[in-house]
């Protein structure tokens, strides 16, 4: 049975692809956007059309989150593909890209195929795998990049593990270039960062926490940028978080190097003082930074130097988090809090709403070649309806993820997702 056509009226359409942020109406039919009326309505609608009055809420493309961890396969107690998909839908995220550091590691086509088949069976949001750049994500031998790409992986990365051997990363970049495959790499010097739980400085010293200097990010990034220039490979800087590394990124972009950078919503929203009394929900990799780095990162997002914001969703159960700070597992869940946390910069007047939406819709979709991230006729009806001004207090215990390690627990935010559609199907309704 075909679902009824749905018209969203009285909404604020936000479509970065067309540059439109204003009133309008949108019609969904047969899983796709059938009509878009910017600044006016669609006139007389057929009797078969279900009308949803948005009451001024924002209607935008569904979010595309390109850095998500799931416990499945291998650690389903942390998160399953189904629980991650449900959390994504509740957060207005319609496409997620899973990191490959599972058990087994996603380093061959059969594991890529397993994830794609599981996602099809779940039938919630679009789920895509990233493949490991090296076998076992150990940074030693190159993985089957070409075969994984053919199987459906969107890019390759060793996730949180930097590829220390420069010759190996050079080979990965050069080989991946032949398949027009993006290589994501975390810029972190592993020796300077060994055992670190915080960013080096007065605060970490006072708290007695093992720390890493911000320069560790810059040092590795300079190496990565040099290898990208040498090979002509496509490099994605995975979660840039420090002012000194941003200087390197700015020089590379000014030079014409085709590099793209992400940062996490966590690093945009918190600084090291938020650790407070050793709050382990704020232990991440990279670690939480100082306020000057946070402000530099926000400014880089505002100017477009940073291209994409990710949730860096990394579930960890209570037994891995309820430990002394330097022993606790890094990571935070973020699929449900990505959009309201990002909207804080709209409410503060720091970054225009359309630019915030762009960095979680059009830009990641275009980067990975996905048919998503835009409100245009004929496009898949992957949509989020969000009440921009509705207040909420984040309750980690109420989050859908199996793990509840949210740094936003107890924080007041504005923005509540009222409805999420994927291919025209309602996958979440508040």
Q: What is the pLDDT of residues 275-298, one digit of tens each?
A: 999 999 999 999 999 999 999 999
Give the bridge partners for 20, in sequence order.
15
How far apart CA 8 and CA 20 sit, in angstroms, is 16
Q: Is the pLDDT of residue 96 over 70?
A: yes
pLDDT over 90 percentage in the chain: 97
Spatial contact of 38 and 20, defined as CB atoms under 8 Å apart:
yes
Give the tens place of pLDDT for each residue, 340-393. 999 999 999 999 999 999 999 999 999 999 999 999 999 999 999 999 999 999
Residue among 267, 248, 346 at smallest CA distance from 305: 248
The pTM of the whole model exceeds 0.85: yes
Question: Reduced to 3 states, what is the DSSP secondary structure of residue 89?
Answer: helix
Whether the per-residue pLDDT at 2 is higher than 80: the answer is no
For residues 218 and 240, give the distance between their C-alpha atoms in angstroms, rounded to a whole number: 9
> Is residue 40 predicted with pLDDT exceeding 90?
no
Q: How far is CA 219 from the centre of its chain?
A: 24
Domain containing 197: what range? 62-368
The DSSP result for 348-402, as a single string, is TTSS-HHHHHHTTTHHHHHHHT-S-S---TTSB--EEEEEEEEEEE--GGG-SSS
> How many C-beta atoms surround the C-beta of residue 112 within 10 A?
25
Q: Looking at the domain assignment, is residue 232 inside a domain?
A: yes
Q: In the prediction, which pLDDT does 404 show?
A: 97
E strand or H helix at 426: strand 425-429
pLDDT, residue 401, reads 97
Query: What three-state secondary structure class fits 57?
Result: coil
CB 420 within 8 A of CB 384: yes
16 domain residue, yes or no: no
Residue 197 lies in a domain: yes
| Helix 243-254 / helix 215-231 crossing angle, nearest 10 deg | 20
> What percent of the chain has pLDDT above 70?
100
* pLDDT above 90: residue 99: yes
| Per-residue model confidence as pLDDT tens digits over 234-287 | 999 999 999 999 999 999 999 999 899 999 999 999 999 999 999 999 999 999
Q: 20-29 and 32-38 as β-strands: parallel, antiparallel, unpaired? A: antiparallel
Q: Is pLDDT above 60 for 101? A: yes
In a domain, 379, yes or no: no
Q: What is the CATH number of the domain that holds 283?
A: 3.20.20.140
pLDDT at 1: 43
Please report, for residues 253, 266, 267, 269, the alpha-carbon distance to residue 272 in angstroms, rounded to integers and kept in the order given: 29, 11, 10, 11
For residue 41, name the pLDDT band (cuts at 50, 70, 90). confident
How confident is the model at residue 46, as a pLDDT? 82
- Residue 408 domain-assigned? no
User: How many independent structural domains does the chain possess?
Assistant: 1
- Whether 336 is covered by a domain: the verdict is yes
What is the residue-averaged pLDDT of the chain? 97
In a domain, 429, yes or no: no
Q: Could you tell me how far CA 337 lies from the centroid of its own chain?
A: 11
Q: CA 386, 361, 409: angle at the middle one, nearest 5?
A: 55
**Is 118 contained in some domain?**
yes
User: What are the tens digits of pLDDT across the range 168-192?
Assistant: 999 999 999 999 999 999 999 999 9
């Amino acid at each position: 049975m075909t679902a009824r056509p749905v018209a969203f009226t009285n909404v604020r359409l936000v479509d970065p692809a067309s540059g439109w942020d204003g009133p309008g109406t949108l019609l969904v039919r047969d899983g796709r956007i059938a009509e878009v009326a910017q600044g006016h309505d669609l006139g007389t609608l057929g009797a078969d059309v279900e009308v949803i009055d948005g009451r001024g809420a924002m209607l935008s493309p569904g979010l595309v989150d390109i850095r998500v961890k799931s416990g499945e396969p291998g650690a389903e107690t942390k998160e399953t593909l189904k629980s991650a998909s449900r959390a994504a839908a509740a957060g207005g995220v319609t496409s997620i890209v899973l990191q490959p550091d599972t058990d087994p590691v996603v380093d061959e086509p059969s594991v890529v195929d397993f994830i794609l088949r599981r996602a099809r069976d779940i039938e919630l949001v679009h789920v895509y795998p990233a493949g490991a750049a090296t076998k076992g994500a150990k940074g030693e031998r190159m993985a089957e990049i070409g075969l994984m790409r053919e199987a459906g992986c969107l890019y390759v990365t060793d996730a949180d593990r930097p590829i220390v051997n420069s010759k190996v990363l050079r080979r990965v970049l050069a080989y991946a270039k032949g398949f027009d495959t993006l290589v994501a790499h975390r810029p972190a010097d592993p020796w300077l960062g060994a055992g670190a739980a915080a960013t080096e400085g007065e605060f970490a010293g006072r708290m007695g926490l093992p720390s890493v200097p911000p320069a560790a990010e810059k040092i590795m990034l300079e190496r990565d940028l040099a290898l990208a220039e040498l090979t002509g490979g496509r490099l994605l800087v995975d979660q840039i978080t420090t002012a000194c590394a941003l200087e390197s990124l700015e020089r590379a972009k000014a030079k014409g190097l085709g590099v793209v950078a992400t940062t996490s919503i966590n690093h945009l929203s918190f600084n090291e003082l938020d650790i407070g009394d050793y709050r382990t929900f704020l232990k991440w990799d990279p670690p939480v930074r100082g306020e000057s780095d946070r402000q530099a990162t926000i400014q880089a997002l505002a100017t477009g130097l940073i291209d994409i914001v990710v949730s860096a969703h990394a579930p960890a159960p209570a037994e891995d988090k309820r430990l002394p700070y330097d022993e606790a597992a890094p990571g935070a869940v973020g699929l449900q809090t990505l959009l309201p946390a990002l909207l804080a910069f709209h409410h503060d007047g720091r970054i225009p709403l359309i630019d915030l939406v762009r960095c979680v819709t059009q830009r990641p979709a275009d980067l990975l070649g996905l048919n998503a991230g835009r409100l245009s006729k004929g496009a898949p009806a992957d949509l989020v309806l969000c009440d921009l001004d509705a207040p909420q207090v984040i309750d980690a215990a109420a989050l859908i993820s199996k793990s509840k390690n949210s740094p936003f627990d107890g924080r007041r935010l504005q923005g509540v997702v009222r409805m999420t559609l994927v291919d025209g199907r309602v996958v979440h309704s508040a």
